[in-house]
Chains A and B, each alone.
Chain A
Amino acid sequence: GENVEQHPSTLSVQEGDSAVIKCTYSDSASNYFPWYKQELGKRPQLIIDIRSNVGEKKDQRIAVTLNKTAKHFSLHITETQPEDSAVYFCAAQYNFNKFYFGSGTKLNVKP
């Protein structure tokens, strides 16, 4: 069945360093891959997304890459700041806007 695997489960970096979170998905029919940031006690918020006809997308310090052949996609955060500390979820869209989520990565940016 549909599945999204996410690694690592926790990630600790020094402020200013880069952070990379990786996901794999199982259904080759997936064509839309969003990333969400969830701070403690708050709703998941969409931070960036990518469609299957694009290999890379950037938005300031955040970028997402997609390898459709390998069914991999990754989130890259450069020049990390303490306010980037949160749990990040990847997701893959299946038919009719049904999403499967990864299990999350807790990012800790140390000042």
Chain B
Amino acid sequence: DAGVTQSPTHLIKTRGQQVTLRCSPKSGHDTVSWYQQALGQGPQFIFQYYEEEERQRGNFPDRFSGHQFPNYSSELNVNALLLGDSALYLCASSKTGTGEEKLFFGSGTQLSVL
């Protein structure tokens, strides 16, 4: 049973560039959430996708966008990168509607913006 997988594991970009991160949820899960974890901080909620739509959004600008595909996998896109976007980006999957909606995290993508 595969867990949550993310790619790539590391990425280096320069300011102003765009980046796409990818996530495959745990088998049986249909909901994908994205979190940003700055160094020494807890994960911060970016947004959540369910049934191929953005269901909830945290306090992040429109430069952060996403997508969910019919197979429940998801992408996170960040445009016009800023130095402050450097962080570990975590994908978490869950199953909506079961009453046991535990979050399972991937290993993350470490993004460095130079």
State whether A46 and B103 are in contact (beta carbons under 8 Å apart), knowing that A96-B96, A97-B48 are contacts in the complex: yes
Closest Cβ neighbor of A49 among chain B residues: B102
Q: How many residues of A contact B (CB 8 A)?
A: 24
Q: Is the CB of A101 within 8 A of B44?
A: yes
Residue among A34, A43, A95, A96 with the highest chain B CB neighbour number at 10 A: A43
Chain B nearest CB, measured from A51 CB (Å): 9
Chain A nearest CB, measured from B101 CB (Å): 5
Closest Cβ neighbor of A104 among chain B residues: B42
Q: Is the CB of B42 within 8 A of A98?
A: no
Interface of A is mostly: strand
Q: How many residues of B contact A (CB 8 A)?
A: 26
Which residues of chain B have C-beta atoms less than 8 A from A36's C-beta?
105
Chain B nearest CB, measured from A11 CB (Å): 15
Q: Is the CB of A44 within 8 A of B45?
A: no
Interface assignment of B27: CB less than 8 Å from any CB of chain A: no
Contact of B101 among A32, A101, A104 (CB under 8 A): A32
Which residues of chain B have C-beta atoms less than 8 A from A101's C-beta?
35, 42-44
Q: Is the CB of A89 within 8 A of B102?
A: no
Which residues of chain A have C-beta atoms less than 8 A from B94's C-beta?
97
Contact of A43 among B44, B50, B58, B106 (CB under 8 A): B106
Which residues of chain B have C-beta atoms less than 8 A from A102's C-beta?
42
Closest Cβ neighbor of A98 among chain B residues: B56
Q: Is the CB of B41 within 8 A of A43?
A: no
Which residues of chain A have C-beta atoms less than 8 A from B48's C-beta?
96-98
